[in-house]
Amino acid sequence: MHVQKTTSRQVVTRELNCFSAVEVVRKTSDHQLRHSPLLDRLVPKGGKYGYDLIAHVGVQTFLEGRTLGDIAADLRPQRIPFSSLHDLGMKFLYYFGHLHQQYAAPQLRDWFQQRAWSTWLIDATVEPGTPAYFGVLDAESGLCLKAWKIATENTDDIVLCLREATEQFGKPNELLHDLGDAMANACEAVWGAAVVHRACHFHLLRDIGEDLYAKPQAALRELIRKLKLQPRLKEQRRGQSLWLRDHVKDPTSLVRLLQEEAVEVPADVLGRELVVAVHQWILDYPSDGHRQGYPFDPYLLYLHRRVNRAATILEPLLDGTAVHHRMPQVLGNLLKMLQDYLNDERVIKAAGEFEHAWQLFTRLRTAMQLSSQGGSPLHNPYPLEAEQNAAIRHSLEALREEFRSQADNCTEPSDARQYEIIVKHLDRYWGSSVSKCEHREKRQVPRSCSERLLRLHGTPGLPTPAARLLA
């Protein structure tokens, strides 16, 4: 072999500390460049930090949970900057992922073949300002099989990902995906009719809810802004908090009064504390939800409902002559502020449309049996037993025909439009999301491929089945 070139670079390893590596690159008779096999075993090609150092940082970070500062203190003789330590942790994930893939993928493939049934959940996670991460999840085991970073959710990239996953883990029996045409087209391009693919019920219901709420929510949000409801409440709340801070001499008096102790509390103090309490209760409107996110939890409607309930409670309280004369004027101002908002005809109309949309959406959720479950409903796959599929299909079919009739005969244009939205979505995805739910017998059918489900089990960007092990 002939000497092609000689290179020199600083190398840092755990075993040998920091040293200068001089490498002679040689050219073989077939014109191939040969690097030093000894150096290749210590450090990546062209890299500065050795494999043993990468492994040490990865283990300390992801298994021991130590901070970069603590790791740097242990490696003080090497004086490795924090940015480099962070990069070493990412390289650890990359190398560990590929190593794990070499050993785990064949075992998973054999396991799926022995199990004789496999359902894949596929979806792309998108965060603002980031690329898309396409992932494949095995529904039965919850294992994230693979994840890829792709430019956008497009058919060509998804086809490449599905073919690669098929080569490694075998062909699935069925798939669940979102409502996008790219997902459906990719499944058809890779497997054709050999693999059944269905639209996710969670995505279908979410799209219907977003379209149902779009108009009334936008109208109610704009009215709240124009009427300055929230800024006026904030200003009043701030004023009362400052007054109470300066005038309340015994901050425990209200607590002792509620404990039925004999305590003299001035009426103006009680009234202002009541004002602040009503404010805080109104601001707690998100607790009316079930942690499912919009449109399953229409938080703006929850806010309107709390304003309405607060006014309903305060009105009889201030009607009493004795109470009215003892309460401070600010309590009456609060009631007037809430009533001015609630009595606005535009608010009444927008809230009425919102409530009607919520009722239709609730009926649809009930028919599809997609109500909130457990403490983390967004992460649930919402599986169904085989005998439940027929019941859901019959319920949805009856509801679709009822809404179709209501859309044709309803005299209120806004209500008719809402019926049409639901019927249009059900008609479009009926074959892919409803009718195909009954093809399996005596098996649980998963119905959700929410991107949050992928994010729960998989690490976006990690191109291996190692995500669950790392977790």
In this structure, what token pair is assigned to residue 371? 């109500």
SS3 content of the chain, % helix, strand, coil (to 5): 60, 10, 25
SS3 19: strand
- Work out the average pLDDT over 438-462: 47
Residue 220 predicted with pLDDT over 80 = yes
Task: Tell me phi and psi for residue 130, to 5 degrees.
Answer: -125, 160
d(C-alpha 18, C-alpha 396), whole Å: 69
Lay out the sheet containing 132-138: strands in order across.
144-150, 132-138, 119-126, 174-177, 196-199
Packing angle of the helix pair 345-368, 386-409 (nearest 10 deg): 150
d(C-alpha 270, C-alpha 326), whole Å: 10
Residue 450 predicted with pLDDT over 60 = no
Residue 17 has what pLDDT?
87
Residue 211 has what pLDDT?
95
- Work out the average pLDDT over 303-309: 96
Residue 238 predicted with pLDDT over 60 = yes
More confident residue, 446 or 457: 446
**Which range has the top average pLDDT, 70-79, 92-101, 215-224, 291-300?**
215-224
d(C-alpha 157, C-alpha 465), whole Å: 20
- Work out the average pLDDT over 328-346: 92
d(C-alpha 471, C-alpha 462), whole Å: 12
Banded model confidence at residue 334, pLDDT cuts 50, 70, 90 = very high
Banded model confidence at residue 369, pLDDT cuts 50, 70, 90 = confident
More confident residue, 176 or 128: 176
Residues 6+ apart with CB under 8 A from 188: 197
pTM of the model: 0.72
Is 344 exposed, middle or buried (CB count within 10 Å of its CB: 0-12, 13-18, 19+)? middle
Residue 197 predicted with pLDDT over 60 = yes
Contacts by 441-445 with C-beta closer than 8 Å and gap 24+?
A: 441/386, 442/386, 443/117, 443/386, 444/383, 444/384, 444/385, 444/386, 445/383, 445/384, 445/385, 445/386, 445/389
Banded model confidence at residue 341, pLDDT cuts 50, 70, 90 = very high
- Work out the average pLDDT over 286-314: 91
- Farthest-apart Cα atoms in the chain, separation: 107
Residue 467 predicted with pLDDT over 50 = no
Residue 386 has what pLDDT?
63
Rounded percentage of the chain residues whose pLDDT exceeds 70: 84
Residue 311 has what pLDDT?
94
More confident residue, 460 or 168: 168
Residue 39 predicted with pLDDT over 80 = yes
More confident residue, 454 or 403: 403
Do the Cβ atoms of 107 and 432 come closer than 8 Å? no
Closest by CA to 159, choosing from 128, 137, 191, is 191
Provide the mean pLDDT of the chain: 83
Q: Considering just the CA atoms, what is the radius of gyration of the chain in Å?
A: 31
Residue 128 predicted with pLDDT over 70 = no
